Structure 1
Amino acid sequence: MTNKELLGTLVLVHPDLENHPAGREGDIGIVAYIDEPHNEIYLRFTDEAEAIYPSDALFLLKDREHIFSRESGGTNAATLNDYKNLFKIATLQDLGRSTDIWNALEIARDNPEIWPASLVSIEESLGLRHNQYISR
């Protein structure tokens, strides 16, 4: 993914982000601007608020193909509910409407056990980091 492709994309602010003045942890926003030299991404939220985050504090949904790949752990879901949630996310991605992507991000946000299988940081997506560790 490139910087230009990210503009207008729905992203999830890391739910466990600590000490950020905007206080929007776990919120979903739209990428409005990317300041690549400073590694800052400007988000706009539905209430017209704006905030700036580093690329490792924001998550995108993984592509459907990667959700169920062996590398992501998607096929090794710990419980049946985890697998169902991953399937719901993949199905919503197939529909592709903004509201569907929003709902998929909410499902991922509310189920931390599927974060490694369903989410990828913008930092990793842009190729700035090769290893992704998501924990709660």
Structure 2
Amino acid sequence: MKDLIGTTVMVHPELTQDPVNKQGQMGTITHLVDEDRLAYVRFKNDVIGLYSTDALLMLIPPELVVDKLRTEIGIFEMDASEVVDILEMYQLHATRIPEVQQEALDWAMTHDRISKAIVFSVEDRIGFQLDRPDQQQKPGRGR
């Protein structure tokens, strides 16, 4: 789960109780509290908020996006231009530049069908990693 530190996230826009009033805004995970499924998020103005991981949204991992699109494209009723947009979003995300990653996530969130296909919560990501320990990053090996 430590690989989530530094991840660009968006506070769920419909969050009803937000400790620092950042609904719909982007930030970066700075620390995870594993046992409580909480994450500290730093925002552009250096404000830090503590959030439940189910209140934080992120792009699905890049290694899953092509398979997900291949198997579920019919479910989301996407056209070719939306698939191209998704691939461009992941090119932006791959830069590892926080501002550019925020642009990619923001772009995804502005398109309903795209966000349903490639955005999920940090909680979902943690659950996915725990369910598939064979897919966790090995020490000394990049993805």
Q: TM-score, normalised by structure 2?
A: 0.73
Q: Distance in 2 between matches of 1:91 and 1:83?
A: 13
Q: Which has the larger radius of gyration?
A: 2
Distance 1:42 1:104, change over 3 A: same
Residue in 2 that maps onto 1:133: none
Residue in 2 that maps onto 1:51: 49
Distance 1:73 1:22, change over 3 A: farther
| 1:109-124 alignment runs, 5 A limit | 109-124=109-124
Q: Is 2:75 the partner of 1:98?
A: no
Residue in 2 that maps onto 1:73: 72
Question: Is the contact made by 1:15 and 1:109 (CA closer than 8 Å) also made in structure 2?
Answer: no
Q: Is 2:29 the partner of 1:26?
A: no
Question: Is the contact made by 1:13 and 1:25 (CA closer than 8 Å) also made in structure 2?
Answer: yes
Say how many residue pairs are matched.
Answer: 128
Structure 2 gaps, min length 5 = 132-143
Distance 1:116 1:41, change over 3 A: same
Question: Is the contact made by 1:67 and 1:74 (CA closer than 8 Å) also made in structure 2?
Answer: no
Structure 1 gaps, min length 5 = 131-136
Deviations 1:11-65 (A, max 9, x none): 1111221232422111111111111222211111010111111011112211334
Deviation, structure 1 residue 126: 1.0
Q: Distance in 2 between matches of 1:65 and 1:35?
A: 25
Indicate the RMSD between aligned Cα atoms, in angstroms. Answer: 2.6
Q: Give me the identity figure in percent.
A: 23
Q: Give the aligned residue type for 2:111.
A: N
Q: Distance in 2 between matches of 1:18 and 1:80?
A: 35
- Secondary structure in 2 matching 1:124: helix
Q: Give the aligned residue type for 1:122.
A: V
Deviation, structure 1 residue 5: 1.0
Q: Give the aligned residue type for 2:40.
A: Y
Residue in 2 that maps onto 1:16: 14
Determine which structure has the larger helix proportion and give its number. Answer: 2
